[in-house]
Amino acid sequence: MGYLADESSRSKRADPRLIMAECKSILVLALPYSPHPFAPLPKGKEKDVQGEVASYAWGEDYHSVFSKRLQTLVEFIEGQVGHPVSNRWYTDTGPILERDLAQRAGLGWIGKNTCLIHPRHGSYVLLAEILLGIELEPDPPFRTDHCGTCTRCIEACPTQCILPDRTIDAGRCISYLTIELKDDIPTLLRPLVGNWVFGCDICQTVCPWNRFAPSDGDPALAPHESLPHPNLIHELELTSQEFNRKFRNSAVKRSKHRGYLRNVAVALGNSRNPAAVPALQKALDNPEPMVRKHAAWALDQIEMDHR
């Protein structure tokens, strides 16, 4: 993610007034989503090869959900003050230090897995910010750290990307590998990705604070039937048009068609399930070289497991 090191972006993250000169306050918001447990395979589906999708992407794309509500909130604020207010908003889309701002706004602390942890909703929250051209009385920051001596997230991470100093080696993170990375997944990391095809929830599912999180998040993010545990054999056969249609209103579209098929191929290889062989052999003719390369790797994994 080289864009993070861009000097212009770094300067804007340090001083939001470089984004909006009139900025006097920043309103930080958190949208909870459901911490769904990993469900067992439906009865009669034991032989299906299923993948995992990070639970924030199970429903409508949160960017769309947030943008509608942020616009409504700005209109409410303008109604309260009686005049137009300079504003700009972001949700995971701009050079904003979202977690740091959320901690300074009192929403929670930054955990050892680098996620913001809300004392009632755990880490299953999505963040957004509105830069405003009016002064608001600031809320007190969240100053305490409630991770204590717990290291469950560090120990549970398959790729060991969570470092002891509360930073992440992003190049090893499964979320990065399955979403942000646009090239080949490094060969040594492929077996560690497991059956994740978009994002990863492992460091959250093991976090004790998420035991207290409500089981139901915002209704707009309620899971669509086919998203939580996709049948990977079927997914590998998605055309570009079918991918765009299926994920039109989903965050999964961020992975792009070829990246998603790459992830699916890796997950099928990790399944070691011979039922995936015909679909993977068909993928060897995919027009995308990256998909062909990962399908060939997956076939090798299955063959090695059944020699």
191 and 155 fall within a common domain: yes
235 and 287 fall within a common domain: yes
Angle between helices 289-305 and 256-271 (to 10 degrees): 10
- Are the CB atoms for 302 and 269 separated by under 8 Å? yes
Q: Which domain does 191 fall in, by range?
A: 2-222
276 and 138 fall within a common domain: no
185 and 258 fall within a common domain: no
Whole-angstrom Cα distance, residue 86 to residue 169?
37
Whole-angstrom Cα distance, residue 228 to residue 226?
6
Given the residues 6, 15, 61, 92, the one annotated as active site: 92
Q: How far is CA 306 from the centre of its chain?
A: 34
The pLDDT of residue 42: 47
Longest pairwise C-alpha distance within the chain: 74
Please name the residue ranges forming H helices in the chain: 7-14, 62-81, 98-104, 152-156, 174-175, 190-193, 202-205, 232-235, 240-246, 256-271, 277-283, 289-305
Give 10-residue mean pLDDT values along the chain (307 residues): 64 84 96 71 56 93 92 96 95 88 97 95 95 96 95 96 93 96 97 96 94 83 81 96 94 96 97 95 97 98 83
Q: Of 222, 246, 270, which marks where a domain is finished?
A: 222
The pLDDT of residue 212: 79
237 and 216 fall within a common domain: no
The pLDDT of residue 87: 96
Q: Of 192, 222, 252, which marks where a domain is finished?
A: 222
Q: For residue 127, what is the enclosing H or E element?
A: strand 125-132
- Are the CB atoms for 176 and 168 separated by under 8 Å? no
Q: Indicate the residue type of 40.
A: P
209 and 304 fall within a common domain: no
Q: Of 188, 222, 256, which marks where a domain is finished?
A: 222
15 annotated active-site? no
The count of structural domains within the chain is 2
207 and 104 fall within a common domain: yes
Q: Which CATH number is 237's domain given?
A: 1.25.10.10
257 and 218 fall within a common domain: no
140 and 6 fall within a common domain: yes
- Are the CB atoms for 254 and 179 separated by under 8 Å? yes
Measured CA distances, 34 to 2, 131, 211, 253, 272 (Å): 31, 27, 12, 20, 31
9 and 142 fall within a common domain: yes
49 and 160 fall within a common domain: yes
